[in-house]
Chains A and B, each alone.
Chain A
Amino acid sequence: MTGRRCWGVLIALFIVMLSMAACGGAAESPDATSAGEGDAACPAPDPRLEVTSTELNLFVWTEYIPQDIIDCFEEVYGIRVNKDEYSSNEEMYAKLSAGGANYDLVQPTDYIVGLMIRQGLLQPLDKDKLPIFDNFDANYLNLAFDPDNQYTLPYQAGADAIVVNTDAVATRPQSFADLWNPDYAGRLVMLDDSRAIIAATLLTLGYDVNTMDPAQLEEAKVKLAELVKGVKLFDSDSPKTALIAGDVDLGILWTGEAAIAQRELPAIEFVYPTEGPILWQDTYAIPADAPHLDAAYAWLNYSLQGNLFWKMLDEFPYTNPNRAALDFAKANHPDLYDAYQNSSITNIPAEVLERGHYIEDVGEATPLYDRVWTEVKGG
């Protein structure tokens, strides 16, 4: 009798679990249908490259490539795409420098490119095989971290700046320094990115974001420790979630995360601080030991085509250096294009770009930065 009741409980539990799984499945099905539509409309590759490889190994940021683009590439070229993901440049660097990783393409951010080149982890791009270079806005080419784009191709760009839920916050911060306002304590969300957050602190003190001066870093440490007491959440995986759920009200985020959060919660606004935001560019680069070079070049030319890459505006709305993709969206998806152009989150104003700051590798001083971060969180 009691045994039977036990089984009853178990069966009930099972049903609950199954129905939850069914709900999860239902939530995902819209994606599946949109991928189906994408299949029907895969644009032809222009130009079509000669490829003998049957596989392509991508090592890319999480949530950064629309599934449609991967599906189309697989369909058009008949190449299987294997995708591994990372959520920090350091993670990617550690895996690549350990050797034997077999990746054909990676997406390093500007500051780590120089280090990867010095360590011989990247190979120069063969520009004869990359007519796609014509797609890009010249403002995003030939930047200091890779003069003449010998090793990298622009992917997406953006900024770390202040995000604020205007429904919950009465006085809106205008600068990084304003975040130290005691009213904000316990309501802050920050990227769990030591370099970005230390850079913001250095800016409030009037120092360079790449300083190697221990005295300046010491000063920044003392100041940052005050702020960290009021930080409720450090998150580089999906900081928008807590913001939308109301666990936190303001903080420092990437542009694209803020744009997606704003779609869900229109009260969310993005503020470029008076000190200037932290700017960055993510790139495509080919590892020195890439086993499927021909497939890598085919991927770069095809996936960045304007009539395919415009999907980024919809799914991952960061700043898009791909002029051809923007033009395609303007002609074919005017609503997406207008949303992109009219939002200061994606279409970063020129004067903001001018006062922005780029993070660079600090070499010898890297442990000093780590020490600051460990101390403000560990003290």
Chain B
Amino acid sequence: MIQRFRENRRLQGFLLILPTLFVMVVMLIIPLTLTVVTSFGQRDADGNVIYTFTLENYWRLIGFTEQGWDDLYLRILLRSLWLALQTTVIVIAMAYPLAYFIARAPEKRRNSLLFLVLIPLWTNFIIRIYAWVMILRGQGVLNSALGGVAGLLSIPFQPLDLYPSQGAVLIGMVYEFLPFMILPIYTSLEKIEPSLYEAAADLYANAFRTFWRVTAPLSMPGVVAGTILTFVPVIGTFVVSDILGGRQVILVGNLVQRQFLDARNPPFGSAASIILLLMTLGLTLYYTRRFGLGEEIAAG
């Protein structure tokens, strides 16, 4: 019996993937199926789901209602996309030089530097976002510090009105997702063979040309991986916007949440999350096909 088991590679393989398979089925496939089924339903007066087959929820979301054209939900979706895009671009711009600096640092210092990048992640995400409230608020850390400096220099000082605002949301988002961009970019930069730089120099490439023709293309997989690790979570995130933005606006995450709570309209909420899922999937597929994807996503 044991002998047969030892020889049966397929059975061994199956047993090895069993835990993962179990998690995937119980925690992904079943809930997702339920969401899809619910999204074709309707609500009754008390907010219970009536299981039927109607596409009405989807039509409403993409703007076609019985009362005519209505782009409210599309605007909310676009606003979330726009915020995710801004965050990702700023994060790339900030993470790349830092990752480059770490990758080019002497080998024994690299780990300590990476360690510093990771330290903030030891603290809970929500607590760090609340810390930004303390920093940015009218009489917060930043304004007190600036006020103190202005006082020393006898410059009139008007406290900056940073919290709550959409600017604060962007600051919080960039802060939150920066490490997830630094790590994959670092991984791909660190792997570049030094001999390639020597070869570029031998061929009379200047620093700019070396960067453009050697470093940038070879680090692209890291940027792609970092973009996915940033852009996708940012679209659905609404905690940062709620805390730092004072809940002034509704993002697609709020929209879905409200349907399951205040509006008691699970079918509409399910349809909204399915649309979000499909859109994210489409964008990710396009992006990875277009720019390629290395193993960095696993490293990040």
Contact = CB atoms under 8 A, between A and B. Distances in A.
Decide whether A and B assemble into one complex.
Answer: yes
Interface of A: 2-3, 6-7, 9-10, 13, 88, 90-91, 93-94, 115, 118-119, 192, 194-195, 228, 231-235, 242, 245-247, 363-364, 366-367, 369-370, 373-375, 377-379
Nearest to B109: A2
B263 A367 contact: yes
Contacts of B250: 374, 377-378
Interface stretch (B18-26, B150-158, B254-262): B254-262
Across the A-B interface, give the 3 residue pairs with the lowest CB-CB distance, nearest first.
Answer: A370-B263, A234-B247, A233-B246
A288 to B, nearest CB: 16
Contacts of B116: 9-10
A10 B116 CA distance: 8
Contacts of B115: 10
B108 interface: yes
Contacts of B47: 115, 366
B279 interface: no
Name the residue among B116, B250, B255, B264 with the largest chain A CB count within 10 angstroms: B264
Interface class of chain B by DSSP: loop
Nearest to B264: A366
B248 interface: yes
B155 to A, nearest CB: 22
Contacts of B261: 88, 90-91, 94
A88 B263 CA distance: 13
By DSSP majority rule, is chain A's interface helix, strand, loop, or mixed? helix
Interface in B68-120: 72, 75-76, 79, 106, 108-109, 112-113, 115-116, 119
Contacts of A373: 258, 262
Given A13-B119, A245-B137, A367-B43, A378 B72 contact: yes
Nearest to B251: A378
Contacts of A370: 258-259, 262-263, 265
Contacts of B179: none
B220 to A, nearest CB: 30
Given A6-B109, A91-B261, A375-B72, A364 B249 contact: no
B19 to A, nearest CB: 24
Contact of A3 (B109, B246, B248): B109
B193 interface: no
Given A2-B106, A234-B247, A245-B139, 14 more contacts: A90-B261, A90-B264, A91-B261, A94-B261, A118-B46, A231-B248, A367-B263, A367-B265, A369-B263, A374-B72, A374-B255, A374-B258, A375-B72, A378-B250
B163 interface: yes
Nearest to A14: B119
B248 A377 contact: yes
Interface in B9-64: 43, 45-48
A194 B112 contact: no
Contacts of A194: 262
A364 B44 CA distance: 7
A335 to B, nearest CB: 31
B138 A245 contact: yes
B247 A235 contact: yes
21 contacts: A2-B106, A6-B109, A9-B116, A10-B112, A10-B115, A10-B116, A88-B261, A88-B262, A119-B48, A247-B163, A366-B263, A366-B264, A367-B268, A369-B263, A370-B258, A373-B258, A373-B262, A374-B250, A377-B248, A378-B249, A379-B72
A264 B57 CA distance: 48
Contacts of A192: 247
B249 A377 contact: yes
Nearest to A362: B45
B50 to A, nearest CB: 13
B262 A378 contact: no
B226 interface: no
B236 interface: no
A241 B112 CA distance: 38
B164 interface: yes
A247 B138 contact: yes
Interface in B185-227: none
A278 B240 CA distance: 30
A377 to B, nearest CB: 4
Nearest to B106: A2
B248 A234 contact: yes
Contacts of A245: 137-139
B291 to A, nearest CB: 32
Nearest to B113: A6
Contacts of A235: 246-247
Nearest to B261: A90
A234 B246 contact: yes
A371 to B, nearest CB: 8
Given A13-B119, A374-B76, A233 B262 contact: no
A218 to B, nearest CB: 11
B162 to A, nearest CB: 10
Contacts of A234: 246-248
A126 B250 CA distance: 44
B272 to A, nearest CB: 11
A247 B263 CA distance: 30
A233 B47 CA distance: 29
Contacts of A366: 47, 262-265
Nearest to A92: B261
B268 to A, nearest CB: 8
Nearest to A231: B248
A261 to B, nearest CB: 16
A91 B246 CA distance: 20
A226 B210 CA distance: 55
